[in-house]
Amino acid sequence: MQAKNVDLEKAFENLPEGFIVLLMAAPDDYSGMIVKVLRHFTNRKKLPVIYVTANKPYASLKAELGRGGVETEKMFFIDMISRKAGGESAREKDCLYIASPDSLTELTIALGSAASSIRKPGKVIFLDSVSTLLMYNSVGAVGKFVHFFTAKMGMWNAQGVLVSLEDGTDPMLISQLSQFCNRTVHIKGGKVKWV
């Protein structure tokens, strides 16, 4: 593992086309990490992002990202939590609502639809978060979903970013996920390390 006291953007350099990166963050670094990575893709690289949220409802997440300087007009959201929490899920041009974080089949269909509707190569599919999916699904189900997700990246002409909390995520699952990824990045106390 390389200890890097550099900007998080460096972790996304020298990766192959269609890369998949696993981001593991400590709770205190989590939100800031997401904003930095999304600014890298939307603001700097000018790439479209499909953001799967199992943590925060679309409306509050989009507002939070906007306050963080993320160009959200380059984003499409798949919201897995609003309906489960009983919140509003009115039709939006940049958001698709699905039933809940345990609806992995529905998520797969939504991802395929969203990915095929964005024709620009290099789009980024951002999954927030593996640790939340584990609250609603078995380790085996999440592992199978992530394996399917990573296998589809080339077919969707996309790049993938998987996000998870460092603490509390099953170590065996992290080991399995790391096999599917080109790089695993750990962020703790503002320090960025990767393999």
Residues of the chain with pLDDT under 50: 1-5
Angle between helices 58-67 and 27-39 (to 10 degrees): 70
Q: What is the pLDDT of residues 55-77, one digit of tens each?
A: 999 999 999 999 999 999 989 99
Each domain of the chain, given as residue ranges in start order, spans 2-194
pLDDT at 171: 85
| CA–CA gap between residue 160 and residue 157 (Å, rounded) | 10
pLDDT at 16: 93
The CATH number given to 2-194 is 3.40.50.300
- Residue whose tokens read 């970013």: 161
pLDDT at 152: 92
**Total Cβ atoms within 10 A of residue 31:** 15
pLDDT at 5: 44
pLDDT at 6: 55
Q: What is the pLDDT of residues 23-42, one digit of tens each?
A: 999 999 999 999 999 999 99
- The 3-state DSSP class for residue 7 equals coil
Are 16 and 182 contacting, i.e. CB atoms less than 8 angstroms apart? Answer: yes
- Residue 86 gets the label, from left (phi > 0), alpha (psi -120 to 50) or beta, of left
pLDDT at 3: 42
